Structure 1
Amino acid sequence: MALALVSVAPLVSMRRSLFSSPYELKSIDKTIPNLVMCRKRMSGRPSIRVSSTASVSNDDGVRRRVGDYRYNHWDEDLIDSLATSYEAPSYLKRADTLVEATKDRFNSMGVDDGQRMSPLTDLYQRLWMVDSVERLGIDRHFQNEIKSALDYVFSYWKEKGIGRGRQSAVTDLNSTALGLRTLRLHGYPVSSDVLENFKDHNGQFTCSGIQTEGEIRGVLNLFRASLIAFPGEKVMQEAEIFSTMYLKHALQKIAVSSLSQEIEYLLEYGWHTNPPRLEARMYMEVFPQDTIYEQKLVELAKVEFNIFHSLQKRELQSLCRWWKHYGFPQLSFTRHIHVEYYTFASCIATDPKQSAFRLGFAKMSYFVTVLDDIYDTYGTMEELELFTAAIKRWDPSVVDCLPEYMKGVYMAVYDTVNEMAKEAEKVQGRDTLNYVRQAWELYIDAYMPEAKWISSGYLPTFQEYLDSSKISFGTRITILQPILTLGEPLSHEILQEIDFSAKFNDLISVILRLKGGQGSVVQEASSVSCYMKDNAGLTEEDAIHCINDMVNNLLKELNWELLKPDSNVPISCRKAAFDICRIFHHGYKYRDGYGDATIEVKNLVKRTVLEPVPL
């Protein structure tokens, strides 16, 4: 049966969206720019078939550009052979026992017997306990206990800070800095002005010069607190500068120890490029184990880490089957980094119940990468117009009108987006497919101007580059459907506060575009090359410095969007979107971790997915 592609009628079976009319699909016919007649294939789902050689000339004689990317770094046999014994009932039972023991420890902090909880240390001990379970990655078990502990600390919070205990005669930098950071992250209204009380008469942060372990830990917590800065908080910027210099100097003097390892890690990754699961693994290795309850905390963290590792094994194997099912291994021109994307997902979403989020995020991120390589590098303008129109048509029957290498890509997008919409419907109580299709239409449309820039050799202005990137970078695609599966029903109005074109989404897109565009200036368009175009005479090094300053300011705005008190978006959804920014930012920390996986990204995969921790 032949299918005319001049005009395509709307799908009869199209599901009707429950969103308001501005986000319903346009009722106009979709037109695919090809006047040939295409014959439907009756042999099931097509797969991608492309020459495995990285040639710039295809069998059809078309000259194509191919990125200089390496093939999949992770051997399929290695993924298939991953084995673990940590799903055994004995490990699950041990974890439950340790959780109860830790809850008992939390509850004992309410007993003021002068031994377990002294009024001279009770505030710091509560903060330390909350901070410990969060950094060890086991805080999901103790949400009620954490709230109770922080409510207690906040009840004694003063304008000048707090001491180690409620009856302490003087305020303490370590307790105040840790309290400022922890309370702020949990939504308590604490002002950074409290840090002004730790300056001398010249308005400078001071230290004793002796650099005891206690003082060093106080400055380390000051550094951690300074990274949770909001726009306009000068004292936080001053605290970051002071603490960074102090800690670097301290590293030159103190012996190699768990403290020095912790300092090195935090100076390297800070907060905005610090994947929670990677920090948890590091913290297990440096965590003090001087008391029985400290030993139990570490044991619980390790057992939980390895139990989750068992789940990661199954999910990663499922993802690899999906990857092979649609023929992606045969694509020689694209980056095969699905394993890395799953790693990113499992570094920020460690609750076992969030499987749909992890797999959805990995698949959506992989789509963005493949389409980026098609639109920026491999596809011809005619092919790109065909694929763009096919996405808008959203009908598997049009696949026969696409070039062979695009067929499997299209069907993978079509099937996966539909499947994720069904998952989201279980949580949202309504069909969100039409809303998501609108997002895909905007996203795929944004590629075309950039493809024309590349085709014509046009270098856009810096503002043109940023405006386009808010959509074409794909942040919305990687965030939207995964957060709809998190268990929080989001009305249309609430979704608008985090989705495009809300400030939250714009900030994430621009931050990642600025960091991701710091490759060589010989690229067709990068943040550096476009900035240098607008600022004649500027060196590449100067341009990168200016762009990094922009990123630092934007991160403060993003901190505020995450933590502002008047947001209607559930904190779990805001945190998920924020953490997606953090994990991508981590990948851009060392060159472009997505073009050719860096040593650091490979290390992240090994330490957080492939290798369990020794018990």
Structure 2
Amino acid sequence: MASASATSASQPIAYFHPTHWGDQFLQFTPLDNVTQLEKEQEVEHLKEQVRKELLARVATVDKPLELLDFIDAIERLGLAYYLEKEIEEALVQVYENYHDQCDKDDLYHVAARFRILRQHGYHVCSDVFKKFKNEKGSFKDCILNDVPGLLSLYEACYVRIHEDEILDEAIVFTTTHLKLMVEKLSSPLAEQVTHALDQPLHYGFVRLESKHYIGFYEQYASHNKTLVKLAKLDFNLLQLLHKQEFQDISSWWNDFYPKVPFVRDRLVEAYFWVLGCYYEREYSSARKTFIKIFMIVQVFDDVFDAYGTYDILKLLVEAVQRWDYSYIAKLPEYFDCCYQKLLETVDEVENELAKEGRSQGVECYKERMNRVCEAWLEEAKWCGQRYTPGFDEYVEVAKISIAQILGFVSSMLGMGPVATNEGIAWVCQEPMPTLVDASHVIFRLKNDLGSTEFEQNSRTHVVSCIQCYMKGHVDVDEEQVNQIIEKKVDDAWKDFNQALLRPYVIPKPLNDRILHLTRAIMVFYKDRTDGYTIVNKIIQDKVASVLVHPIPI
């Protein structure tokens, strides 16, 4: 029996809508063993065909554009994880010929080459786009006749860094003209442009974007039939695996959730978030670890944000700092089971990793959890005092309270030997490395842009970056502040993109987790919405696309 009651008249209880999904994901029937084996064997056969085609294009040095197009198709169809080594070796050749090829190529291929190399960490120069400008310094009118080229340039703009001023101009130019011409385009280019304007490739989930691209790509007469067949088969097989994983984790959540009924019931959306981080078969175990810790952090976030009083939260922070099972009895109802679940889950992961000599990452996680809890408590104090800090003071605390670091570390814990103790320690260091810090800033600002209206109107809530900015700038209205915050998000993305470039400080698979979890922010919080707390139709459709609907073959 808990030692005290959590109920208080002053408790800021929030209302979160129930899950939209019911038990539909529990009604899953896997393939029979014979069919499963046949499909897996077909995937292996097609993979080998694609590998041979890629190597043949690498060997054909006089046709560099064919190689570039093939690599781009492999990646956009979601198949790059099968051919990482071969693609990396091929891109060395692409990089070595970068300037020579860009001097002679059309806009489509110049932009595609730039984007692909930047996405692989190469610090290639954006001056290659100067040839598409006229003597007055404006982009040439003739490129308006090249819609695929405009679209390629538009996508390339999203990997820009601070020095890429020409791409700051290009994103305005391409966005404006693509919007003007989209209704005059024919299929499938019209649908492709419409989708890109809504969801730039660099800001999207690989899993979700690959499904969209399969639909576009196969409509072009030049498509590679082997790639399409492999992409569809691979997507559907992985979807079955994901459904099985979700069914397994559902029983865990269904046991835990009734003990904390005041929190958001968002297991489906959380698992979709996790799939955005990694969807590959090799990371199945990592996903199972990540989703449990993800949900526990969400529960803690709701406890601090929408349920606990300051005095109880202070006791909970002390318990987390001590990491001691004896504290369970000292906590009130509901809080005790949250704390117990945290300890049990993280300690279980630590015991497994200790067998591999990799438990130091869990210690890093515990330290970061302490730090996040302290930030949550500071915000609870601000809320209770009705205090509005200055913008900089707010961001220093709020970028910690967004808890992105906990997502980074928990996503890495189950990845195996590539998630080295040194790599995780680097991610967790203070002050934050630029890559980590920029992601936290993006998350905090996008979250505030999307959630401020709901949070401020539904209950007593800590101020957001919008109120904090307006405090120091009384001459601007809320819409102007929103635009200023969006500009800060763009600038943080430039910092982030710069930090993704080589040389890599940590293993690339760890870099990739940070990238994909930063992309998740752009999926869930786009257009000033909070699609996780208030699950809108757009997010529901994205979830269904990945988890419910297979691709017809």
> TM-score, normalized by length of structure 1?
0.83
Aligned to 1:234: 165
Counterparts of residues 206-605 of structure 1 (less than 5 Å):
206-208=140-142, 211=145, 215-255=146-186, 257-288=187-218, 294-326=224-256, 328-425=257-354, 429-489=358-418, 494-500=423-429, 501-518=432-449, 519-520=452-453, 523-563=461-501, 565-590=502-527, 591-605=529-543
Shift in Å at residue 153 of structure 1?
2.4
Instruction: Please say if residues 161 and 495 of structure 2, whose CA atoms lie closer than 8 Å, have aligned partners that are also in contact.
Output: yes
The answer as to 2:70 corresponding to 1:100 is: no
Shift in Å at residue 459 of structure 1?
1.9
Instruction: Please say if residues 28 and 243 of structure 2, whose CA atoms lie closer than 8 Å, have aligned partners that are also in contact.
Output: yes
The answer as to 2:153 corresponding to 1:153 is: no
In structure 2, the CA distance between the partners of 1:426 and 1:294, relative to structure 1 (3 Å rule), is: farther
Instruction: Please say if residues 358 and 420 of structure 2, whose CA atoms lie closer than 8 Å, have aligned partners that are also in contact.
Output: no
Distance 2:253 2:121 in 1: 40
- Secondary structure (helix, strand or coil) at the match of 2:526 reads coil
Q: Which structure has the bigger radius of gyration?
A: 1
Encode CA deviations 1:440-483: one digit per residue, 9 max, x unaligned: 21121221111111112222221121011232111111111321
Comparing 582-591 and 497-506, the one that deviates more: 497-506
- Secondary structure (helix, strand or coil) at the match of 1:464 reads helix
Aligned to 1:53: none
Aligned to 1:45: none
Shift in Å at residue 434 of structure 1?
2.7
Shift in Å at residue 233 of structure 1?
1.4
Distance 1:88 1:491 in 2: 34
Distance 1:551 1:59 in 2: 38
- Give the percent of matched residue pairs that are identical in Structure 1 and Structure 2: 27
Structure 2: any 5+ residue segments left out of the alignment? Answer: none
Distance 2:265 2:340 in 1: 18
The answer as to 2:14 corresponding to 1:67 is: yes
Instruction: Please say if residues 204 and 523 of structure 2, whose CA atoms lie closer than 8 Å, have aligned partners that are also in contact.
Output: yes
Comparing 358-367 and 304-313, the one that deviates more: 358-367
Shift in Å at residue 128 of structure 1?
0.8
In structure 2, the CA distance between the partners of 1:414 and 1:232, relative to structure 1 (3 Å rule), is: same
> TM-score, normalized by length of structure 2?
0.92
Distance 1:390 1:415 in 2: 14
The letter of the residue matching 2:514 is A
Structure 1: any 5+ residue segments left out of the alignment? Answer: 1-37, 41-48, 50-57, 163-169
How much is the aligned-residue C-alpha RMSD, in angstroms? Answer: 2.5
Determine which structure has the larger helix proportion and give its number. 2
Distance 1:223 1:246 in 2: 10
Shift in Å at residue 248 of structure 1?
1.4
Encode CA deviations 1:67-121: one digit per residue, 9 max, x unaligned: 1310122212x12102343871111111112112212221332565xxxx8x4xx
In structure 2, the CA distance between the partners of 1:107 and 1:39, relative to structure 1 (3 Å rule), is: closer
Encode CA deviations 1:506-536: one digit per residue, 9 max, x unaligned: 2111111111112226553111111112211
Shift in Å at residue 612 of structure 1?
1.6
The letter of the residue matching 1:196 is K
- Secondary structure (helix, strand or coil) at the match of 1:568 reads coil
Distance 1:384 1:545 in 2: 34
In structure 2, the CA distance between the partners of 1:323 and 1:421, relative to structure 1 (3 Å rule), is: same
Distance 1:111 1:479 in 2: 39
Instruction: Please say if residues 236 and 550 of structure 2, whose CA atoms lie closer than 8 Å, have aligned partners that are also in contact.
Output: yes
Shift in Å at residue 403 of structure 1?
1.2
Distance 1:209 1:390 in 2: 62
- Secondary structure (helix, strand or coil) at the match of 1:88 reads helix
The letter of the residue matching 1:285 is G
Aligned to 2:72: 131
- Secondary structure (helix, strand or coil) at the match of 2:415 reads coil
Aligned residue pairs, count: 541
Comparing 531-540 and 274-283, the one that deviates more: 531-540
Shift in Å at residue 330 of structure 1?
4.4
Aligned to 1:82: 28
